[in-house]
Amino acid sequence: MIKDLKSLTWNELEQVAAQHSQKPFVVQYLFTFIHQKNVAALEQITPLSKTFRAALTEAGYHISTLKLIETFDDPDGTMKFVFETADGNRLESVRLLDDQRATLCISTQVGCRMGCLFCATGQLGYQRDLTCGEIVDQVYQIQLRTGKAQNIVYMGMGEPLDNYEATMKSVELLNHPEGQNIGIRHITVSTCGLTEGIARLTEEALQPRLAISLHGPDDQTRQSILKISKKVPIRSLMSALRKYQDHTGRRITFEYCMIQNYNDSPQQARQLARLVKPFKCNVNLIEFNAFDGCDFVAASPAGIRQFAAVLEREGIETVIRYKRGRSIRAACGQLGADWLKRTT
């Protein structure tokens, strides 16, 4: 069994308690102190007996904690947090403010194996998956310093469905009423289109919101910028999403990074409208954010508005997401860009 208590669900903590001949009520102490009070050591869970705490320590159980290395502040209110794991890996998380509502953008991997060309993290390559404890601790650490967040989006470093088990366990922990009690409709998991993961998500009892990084209305466009789309053509992705929506009834968000002279033409807007119109969905148009080593240019504001107008005329709910946190390299697609600059 996993020895990091922060990575264990309520049911798994019950197993740990039973193995040490403890009463079921001790699970509530373990869970709430870790996931509500954010304790960093077993010694801090004082309602537990010293004997039980010593037994857990002797058995190798511990409570993981990320080390905060640095924070960055953008004039628009965006904050970026750089964390270090126990084995020396680094990751970034972002806090966004919108009308005083805080959204935390958290990471699921160190680096990413998807290799999307418009994303700095994808150019770093893949180091390892984050554990469930490391995923939720981003939320706990940021909230400790900035207050309660209203929304959680799995849109930071890494592909969430490529680290499926840890991602979904972390969703369960963040949603648990004895922990942070974040409503499941306020948690969004984003994927660039891993159909096996979407199929698994379809069958989950707990259903976070689903966002799809689409970025192109046809295979030729997608395959030139998203490595994974060479294995998962649009037809396969749409089929998986149709099964997901038919089974869950949940709305889907399509994310579309606007790159000048690449995927921003009115014709491509019409293609996109035809592609997503059969779904209960909305489209987020995201202004491309530059980073060193990438030659793409952001579509013009006028071009983005024209693209949005085409979608809206077709009845597609569309939101334009302009730059947030760009001055601190915290905008969409920029996480890890500072490290990429040092290594290229």
- 58 assigned to active site: no
Q: Is 92 a catalytic residue?
A: yes
Whole-angstrom distance, CA of residue 4 vs CA of residue 8: 7
Q: Is residue 84 exposed (0-12), middle (13-18) or buried (19+ Cβ within 10 Å)?
A: middle
Q: How far apart are CA 246 and CA 267, in angstroms?
A: 29
Nearest to 72 by CA among 83, 81, 64: 81
Nearest to 78 by CA among 288, 287, 325: 325
Integer Cα distance of 106 and 191 in angstroms = 13
The one-character DSSP state at 108 is: S
Other Cβ atoms closer than 10 A to 242: 13
Rounded to whole angstroms, the Cα distance separating 290 from 297 reads 7
Per the CB < 8 A criterion, the answer to whether 221 and 262 are in contact is yes
Specify whether the backbone of 125 is left (phi greater than 0), alpha (psi in -120 to 50) or beta.
Answer: left
- In angstroms, rounded to a whole number, what is the distance separating the alpha carbons of residues 296 and 225? 10
Catalytic residue among 112, 119, 132, 332: 332
Q: Which of 92, 134, 172, 255 is catalytic?
A: 92
Alpha helical stretches, state H, the chain: 10-19, 26-35, 50-58, 120-124, 132-146, 164-175, 195-202, 219-225, 234-248, 266-276, 301-313, 337-343
Annotate 256-292 with DSSP letters as a single string. EEEBTTTS-SHHHHHHHHHHHTTSSEEEEEEE----T
Stated as kind and residue range, the H or E segment containing 189 is strand 187-191
Letter string b/e over residues 31-52, b meaning 16 or more CB atoms within 10 A of that residue's CB: bbbbbeebbeebeebeebeeeb
Under a CB-based contact definition with an 8 Å cutoff, are residues 147 and 97 in contact?
A: no
Active site residues: 92, 332
